[in-house]
Each structure stands twice: as C-alpha cells, then as structure tokens.
Structure 1
C-alpha cells in the first residue's frame, strides 16, 4: 500500500531529473554559443554558482529517485549509470569554462538522464506487474 503511494513521487522525481538534465545540456550549449560566439552573457551563464547548484540538485534528485529504485527493485544499472553521470558533472566543475567543461557536463547529464529513464521504465513495468498480478 505504501509503495503505491510512493510510486507517483518517484515518477515525478525521475521526470524532474530528466528535465533538469535537458535544461543543463541546453544551458551548456547556449553558454558556448552566446558567450564564445557572441560575447554576451558571460557573467550570467558562466557563474560557478549555477553549475554548483545544478550539480547539487541533480545529485539530490538522482540520489532519492534512483537510489530509492535501486533499493526497492535491486537493479544496479540505473544507479551506476546515473552516478557515473554525476561523476562526469563533478569533473566538469574542475576544468576551466569552455568546450572541455561542456563536453564533460553533456556526457554527465546524458548519463544521469538515461539512469532516470531506466528507472522510470522499471517503475512502469513493476507497477504493471503489481496491477496485473504477474
């Protein structure tokens, strides 16, 4: 019973993680185009606080949603993939702004997003099995 009540929360967190990953990738691409190409918005787009807050949010959301799924369903793949992505995102904070940072971040957010997608698929298949009695 409690699992059914928690399931929508996990789905929302996974969807929020996917959205956050997409927004982060878009931010990286816009940063490269606007700052490097046009020379505008550097103080906003390249602010370290944006990247640190983004990594913190991604870590919290992935930790709760994917960690929860890993504990509940004993599936390591979404967790390992997402944590690898978070490692890439953390590494991006250690390099200077530019192409290297963007590449590391985009790889990281793609992996985190993929971990959330796998988690959502498993939640969906588990919910179907519980409803259908399989």
Structure 2
C-alpha cells in the first residue's frame, strides 16, 4: 500500500468505523437470510398445499371446458379440444402421484398441453 493510504487508514477511529460497518453488514445479511428463508419455507408450505392444486385443477377444467367447447361450436375442429382435454387428464392424473418431483413434471406437461389446446383453438377461430 502507498504511505498515504496507510496514513488514511491509521487515522484514529477509521478502522473501527470500517469494522463497525462490516459488522453491521454482517448482521443485516444474517437477519435478511433468516427472514427470506423463513418466508420461502412458509410460501413453499402454502403453495404446496393439496387444496391449491385441487382448486387450480378445478378452475382449469371449468375454464378449459367452456373455452375449448365454445371453440368447437364456433369452428368445428376437434383437435384443440382433444389436445386440451388430454392435458387436463394429465394434470388430474398428476394429483395422484407422489410428491417426489414426478407430480410437478406431469403437471407442467399437462399445463403445456392445455395451453397448446387453447392456442390451437385460437388459431382455428381465425
């Protein structure tokens, strides 16, 4: 280090202020980490609750049946409703799988199929 930097750090109380600031940052980091992890654990428990999945599936089935059904009546193509219904079936089947990651995987696949059915429905209406 240059002599001027050493002299600047050696001023009375400067190193103490730097140490106090670092200690304060450490406390903020530790508390923030505990709070964030606590919130994530709570949110994970809430979002992982079976009722969330069951209500979500019920809403998806109602909305899918109405939107895809109206689409078939409007344009007459069965492919969108077939793809969407298969996706809803995959989502429903995923509710019975163990919570080891396979449930989430099959739910995502089912949701993707439902979204594809709605996209096909949208394109068929044009």
Q: Which residue, out of 40, 43, 46, partners 1:44?
A: 46
Regions of 4+ moved over 6 Å: none
Say how many residue pairs are matched.
87
Under a length normalisation based on structure 1, what TM-score does the superposition of the two structures give? 0.61
Match of 2:88 among 86, 95, 101: 86
Aligned partner of 2:104 among 102, 105, 113 = 102
1:43 positional shift: 2.0
Rounded to whole Å, the distance in 1 between the matches of 2:63 and 2:99 is 25
**Bigger radius of gyration, 1 or 2?**
2
Match of 2:120 in 1: 118
Q: Distance in 2 between matches of 1:97 and 1:70?
A: 35
- Mapped to 1, the partners of 2:98 and 2:83 lie a distance apart of 25
Q: What 5-or-longer segments of structure 1 have no aligned partner?
A: 1-38, 126-134
8 Å CA contact 1:46–1:97 kept in 2: the answer is: no
Aligned-partner Cα distance in 1 for 2:75–2:121? 10
* TM score, norm. by length of structure 2: 0.64
The secondary structure found in structure 1 opposite 2:98 is coil
Higher relative contact order (CA 8 A, sep 6+): 1
**Which digits, 9 at most, give the CA deviation of each residue in 1:64-111, with x for residues without a partner?**
010111122210100000000001100111012231101110010000
Structure 2 unaligned regions, length at least 5: 1-39
Q: What's 1:72 paired with?
A: 74
